[in-house]
Amino acid sequence: MRRRPMVRMARGVTRLFDPPAGARIGPLKEGFFKSRLHDERLSAQLGIALGVTFTICFVTGLLSHLIQYPPAWFTWPPRPAGLYRLSQGVHVATGIASIPLLLAKLWVVYPHFWTWPPVRNVLHLIERISLLPLVGGSIFLLFSGLANIGLWYPWRFFFPAGHYSGAWITIGALIVHIGAKATLTRRVLARDRGRSEAPGDGLSRRGFLGVVGGTAGLLTLLTVGQTFRPLNRLAILAPRRPDVGPQGFPVNKSAASAKITDDHVGPSYRLLVTGAVTTALALSLDDLRALPQHEATLPIACVEGWSAEASWRGVRVAELLQRAGAAPDADVTVESLQASGLYKASALNALQARDPDTLLALEINGETLHIDHGYPVRLIGPNRPGVMQTKWVEKLVVS
């Protein structure tokens, strides 16, 4: 039978790397790694746990991306009102829980980086190469996500774009890895089922899994209170507390850092409703206060994982659109007084713009908005990421 060239090439690679037995020193020597925790079963269990957390993290992350940058086929509805808050809370929680899982997995398997021969055949070569984007991508995603939660940007790239591309690379590599390891994982787990652990020194496998799982659980418990109210008091690792800030409400972007000055929000302030309308509107703050007011209890759900609920009061966007004579299926861009910055505008699709709880809020919990919360007027709508709840609104542009 004629050998295929690829196979021959891989064998050639193996031969090239294969040193005489005496040259296999240090970690290349058989039996160099002594801990009983460098174990196939442990590796399989941690792999499954990571497969689950990474998949949930990927799906919720992808959803958040689609909501913020919707392609033509995607329409994010305004209901259920708290869905984004839940999905983004889960995204951040599974990301944080993945950190100890990944560290443990890498430690359990790292002796494999010295297995001999380094390449056995073409499939093995592909599997080995896919570890580079898998390990590199995973570390990059968890590190950049964690830094973003802490508002720490020790890099030059734009976080959402970098994190998003990293996610596709990692998930691609993960699929290759799962494909390569599924059979082995199944075999290892079936083989060792119910078999008691061999006695030995140091931490047992079960003890190790307990420590890793416990760490993941504890980290989750100490951060998830930033969005899950009953655990609020435990959220000591969360950089944002849902109840700390002006008017008992957190702030991400202050008026000062957005360069919003008293001139912007003085008596000359007008809210403009323009674009594809029959009657353009220019409303002063008093005009807005004279319109029918509506109240809604809605959360701000920041992409960074914190969320906080308040009772908002103001004018319905739908009411303004109707008064301006906008078409019933028109989309709206909400523009801020803020001169520059990525989040100075946001899009309301037709469904969101017509939701009775989508408001231009003038009040939070019965008080006039603090300037850091968007005075004179902020957008607040159900089921939207915090970055799309535009503050210091100047214009509704209908299209």
Ligand X SMILES: Nc1nc2c(c(=O)[nH]1)N[C@H]1C(S)=C(S)[C@@H](COP(=O)(O)O)O[C@H]1N2
Residues that bind Mo ion (CB under 5 A): 252, 302, 386-387
- What single string gives the DSSP state of each residue in 61-127? HHHHHHHHS--TT----S-STTHHHHHHHHHHHHHHHHHHHHHHHHHHHGGGGG-SSS--SHHHHHH
Residue 258 lies near ligand X (rule: CB under 6 A)? yes
Closer residue to Mo ion in complex, CB, 92/398: 92
Residue 345 · residue 352 · CB < 8 Å: no
Q: Give the span between the Cα atoms of 220 and 223, in whole angstroms.
A: 5
Closer residue to Mo ion in complex, CB, 362/387: 387
Residues 236-255 that bind ligand X (CB under 6 A): 249-253
CB closest to ligand X, residue no = 386
- What single string gives the DSSP state of each residue in 203-250? --HHHHHHHHHHHHHHHHHHHGGGT-GGGGGG-TT-S--TT-SGGG--
Cα angle vertex 194, ends 193, 199, to 5°?
110
Nearest distance in Å: CB 172, ligand X = 29
3-state DSSP call for residue 322? helix
Q: Give the span between the Cα atoms of 343 and 303, in whole angstroms.
A: 13
How many residues contact ligand X, by CB under 6 A?
Answer: 20
100 binds, among Mo ion, ligand X, none (CB under 5 to 8 A by kind): none
Q: Return the exposure string of 7-32: e unless at least 16 CB atoms fall within 10 Å of the residue's CB, then b.
A: eeebbebbeeeeeeeeeeeeeeeeee
Residues 335-374 that bind ligand X (CB under 6 A): 336, 338, 341, 343-344, 373
Closer residue to ligand X in complex, CB, 99/300: 300
Residue 1 CA: distances (Å) to CA of 4, 14, 75:
9, 21, 56
Q: Which stretch binds ligand X (CB under 6 A): 4-12, 28-36, 161-169, 390-398?
A: 390-398
Tokens read off for 332: 């709206």
Nearest distance in Å: CB 389, Mo ion = 8
Pick from 41, 205, 384, 391 the residue near ligand X by CB under 6 A: 391
**By rule CB under 6 A, what string of x and - marks binding of each residue 272-311 to ligand X?**
----------------------------x-x---------
159 binds, among ligand X, Mo ion, none (CB under 5 to 8 A by kind): none
Q: Which stretch binds ligand X (CB under 6 A): 107-115, 207-215, 274-282, 334-342?
A: 334-342
Closer residue to Mo ion in complex, CB, 354/384: 384
Closer residue to ligand X in complex, CB, 382/386: 386
Residues that bind ligand X (CB under 6 A): 249-253, 258, 300, 302, 336, 338, 341, 343-344, 373, 386-387, 389-392
